[in-house]
């Protein structure tokens, strides 16, 4: 199994998608949902989004910015960026292993 964002249980995958979405700059909840859906072609429900956001915020991987109107943007923290880089590196290694076993060269 590919590694997951630690200690997030069933919210590990949505959390990873959110971290990737925030990696190019702050976004509010609706923009994260739209970005994830555009990137994965799978919808991210609002209940799942906020369950994952709350966990990421508690762990200090993201932080909330002052709200604009009623929308509150979130951004990666330094620790969040490090954790995301770790996760992506491990996922890359895992994907390369799978491709090698299939006899197909990575990339």
Partner 1 sequence: MIALLLRLYPAVWRARYGDEFAAILEERPIGPFDVADILLGALDAHLHLRGLASASPSRKGSTMSLRVGGYAAISGALLWFLGLLFGSASETAAVFEALTLVSVVLGTVLLLVALVGLSAFQARSYPRLTWAAFAIPALGAITSLAGLGLTAGLGERPVIGEYSAWYVWMAGTLALIVGSGLFGLATWRARTLSRSGAALLIVGSLAIVPVLVNLGGGGERETWMAFVVTLLAFAAGWLTLGIAALRADRLPSTSLKGAPL
Binding residues vs partner 1 (CB under 8 A): 6-7, 23, 26, 28-30, 33, 43, 45-51, 53-55, 58-61, 63, 67, 69-72, 75-82, 84-86, 88-89
Residue of 91, 21, 84, 88 lying closest to 49 (CA atoms): 21
Minimal distance, residue 94 CB to partner 1, in Å: 17
DSSP summary character for residue 10: G
- Work out how close the CB of 100 gets to partner 1 at its nearest, in angstroms, rounded to a whole number: 23
Q: Is 101 exposed, middle or buried (0-12, 13-18, 19+ CB in 10 A)?
A: exposed
Nearer to partner 1 by Cβ, of 7 and 100: the residue is 7
């Amino acid at each position: 199994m590919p590694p997951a964002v630690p200690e997030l249980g069933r919210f590990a995958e949505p959390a990873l998608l959110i971290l990737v979405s925030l990696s190019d700059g702050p976004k509010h909840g609706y923009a994260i949902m739209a970005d994830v859906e555009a990137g994965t072609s799978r919808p991210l429900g609002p209940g799942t989004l906020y369950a994952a956001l709350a966990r990421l915020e508690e762990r200090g991987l993201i932080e909330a910015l002052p709200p604009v109107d009623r929308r509150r943007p979130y951004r990666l923290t330094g620790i969040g960026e490090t954790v995301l880089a770790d996760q992506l590196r491990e996922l890359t290694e895992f994907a390369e292993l799978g491709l090698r076993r299939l006899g197909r060269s990575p990339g």
